[in-house]
Structure formats: C-alpha cells, structure tokens
Amino acid sequence: MADRNYTEKTDPSRKPCLTAVLRMAGLRPTRQRVALAELLFGGPHRHISAEELHSEASIARVNVSLATIYNTLHQFHEAGLLREVAVDASRSYFDTDTSDHHHFYVEDEQRMIDIPADSVKFDALPKPPRGMSVTHVDVVIRVRRHQ
Ligand SMILES: [Zn+2]
C-alpha cells in the first residue's frame, strides 16, 4: 500500500485554477483563501492539522492567525473541499482527499496513512436511528511502532 503522505508525484490536474475551485465551491476567492488553498491543494493529497497549516503559512509568509486558519479549514470542509478526520477530542486532521477511504493513525508520530475503502469490510453495521441514514463510515485504526 502506498503511503500517499510521502508521494513526491504531483497530479497536474489538481494545480490551479484554485480561484475557480473556490468559486465553484461557493466561496469568495479572497487573497487569504487562495493563499491557503495553494498550500493545501498545490501538491499531492495530504492530511494536515490546523497548527501544521499555520506554521506552513508562516514559512510561506502568508500572514494569518490560527483562528483564521481554523475558520478557513472549516469553510473548506463545509464546502466539500476537505474531509475532517477527528483522531481525538482535541485533534483533527483535514484530508485533501475527499474520496471514501479509511486511516491508520500513527500515534507516536501523529501522522495519518490512507487505507483504501475496499480493504475494510463490515459484516454488520447497526441500523441508523429512525428517520436517519448513514452518510459515511470513518475508520481510524491507531497504530504505533514496535519499541
Ligand atoms: Zn486520507
């Protein structure tokens, strides 16, 4: 299984025009949004926390507060551009790959690795509560390296 976090290959189809991508998602392409979208979507698919994006933004001289980063990530998520994967109450990752798949979470490295959707099988899922339907099932398998 390929670890897409470390794939150097860049898919040219995902390169700009990010302005158009934002517009199509119903978001006004402000300078900050475009700059953050460039950091997020300018390369291969990845998983990133708000704090990681904040430090990348500082390095790229995109001057935004952590609060703005959080807001923008949530707006991108609401618009369907990102998927949010919560690993615990205090930590979420944003995944630029919004397709159906699952994750390994490497606890001691705080890193996510993709698992293809079809390699996780369910024999029985509980029926959703009355009047509700399942939107998707997120599996996070926590792992750590042998000592
Ligand atoms: Zn993923």
- Per-position pLDDT tens, the chain of length 147: 444 444 434 444 444 588 999 999 999 999 999 999 999 998 899 999 999 999 999 999 999 999 999 999 999 999 999 999 998 888 899 999 999 999 999 999 989 999 999 999 988 889 999 999 998 888 999 999 998
Q: Is residue 99 part of a domain?
A: yes
Separation of 139 CA from ligand 1 center, angstroms?
11
Is position 117 within any domain?
A: yes
Q: How far is CA 3 from CA 7, 72, 92, 106, 118, in A?
A: 7, 26, 19, 12, 16
What is the structure's pLDDT at 3?
46
Residue 104: inside a domain = yes
- 3-class secondary structure, 88: strand
What is the pLDDT at residue 16?
55
Number of domains in the chain: 1
pLDDT for 91 equals 86
What is the residue range of 62's domain?
8-143
Residue 99 pLDDT: 92
Residue at 77 is within a domain: yes
The CATH number of residue 133's host domain is 1.10.10.10
d(CA 24, CA 34): 13
> Would 1 be classed as within a structural domain?
no
Ligand 1 centroid to residue 130 C-alpha, Å: 30
* Residue 58 included in any domain: yes
Q: Does residue 3 sit within a domain?
A: no
Q: Are 46 and 6 in contact (CB under 8 A)?
A: no
CA of 7 to the centre of ligand 1 (A): 13
Within-domain flag for 2: no
* pTM attached to this predicted model: 0.80
